[in-house]
Amino acid sequence: MDWQALTLSIKLSLVTLIFLLPIGIFFGRWLAYRQFFGKSLLQTILALPLVLPPTVLGYYLLVAFSPNQGFGLWLANTFGTTLVFNFQGLVLASIIFNLPFAIQPMLRAFAAIPREIREAAACCGMPPAQVLWKIELPLAWPGIISAMVMCFAHTLGEFGIVLMVGGNIPAETQTIAISIYDRVQAFDDQSAAIMSFSLLLFSMITISFTYWLSERHQHPYV
């Protein structure tokens, strides 16, 4: 087991979750309750990482983050930093790549809350922030937890987008998935098998947990 790569992958997953939790709640709730012009287009853009090959998304992010043009050039001139081949760039790329895995389960969770419950709370004089904190979040928490678990597991196994944006720098951008690839290239089949089986087992546990959570809370809100 490449513990350094595994530690980096876990760190990347946790940092990604810290940012995705409020982003997912905001967009999930907003898209569940609001109707506006261009909503379908926005949902299409947010869902693109589900079907877009990671290397394609990684290529566009690499171009966008490049310090030679556009956003990357502005970032380099303004803050003297870059987002390619470092951990900060991996975090931003991971957030973008995992947006649909965070937003869609939360959207479904908020959409499943009957409008009458929110309207009754508003009639009782509860401000919107209190409705969100005391009513909506407790009812939507299974979807929120499922989204976070899936995002963590998905980030842990990222390969294409990580390699495109971060490269393969030990202790900086070399995640567990890239380490497995390196072991295969070096004909170290035993290490590759151990790490691959560990990710396989973790993925199975993650998916089983999300299914269990979904089935356990399939009931009407009464």
pLDDT digits (tens, 9 = 90+) for 107-159: 988 888 888 888 788 788 788 888 888 888 888 888 888 888 888 888 888 88
Under 8 Å between Cβ of 175 and 12? yes
H helix and E strand count, the chain: 12, 0
Q: Quick one: what percent of the chain has pLDDT higher than 70?
A: 95
Report DSSP state, residue 165. Answer: H
**What gap in Å lies between CA 10 and CA 162, rounded to an integer?**
14
Class of domain 3-216: mainly alpha
Location of structure tokens 């900086």: 172
Query: What is the mean pLDDT of the segment spanning 200-220?
Result: 73
Summarised one tens digit per residue, pLDDT across range 155-196 is 888 888 888 888 888 888 888 888 888 888 888 888 889 888
pLDDT of amino acid 141:
86
Nearest Cα neighbor of 53 from 61, 41, 65, 63 is: 61
Query: What is the mean pLDDT of the segment spanning 199-215?
Result: 79
Averaged confidence pLDDT in the chain? 85
**What gap in Å lies between CA 99 and CA 195, rounded to an integer?**
26
More confident residue, 26 or 220: 26
pLDDT of amino acid 216:
65
Q: If you average pLDDT over each of 9-23, 71-85, 105-119, which comes out highest?
A: 9-23
pLDDT of amino acid 214:
66
SS3 161: helix
Going by pLDDT thresholds of 50, 70 and 90, the confidence category of residue 222 is very low
**What gap in Å lies between CA 150 and CA 159, rounded to an integer?**
16
pTM: 0.83
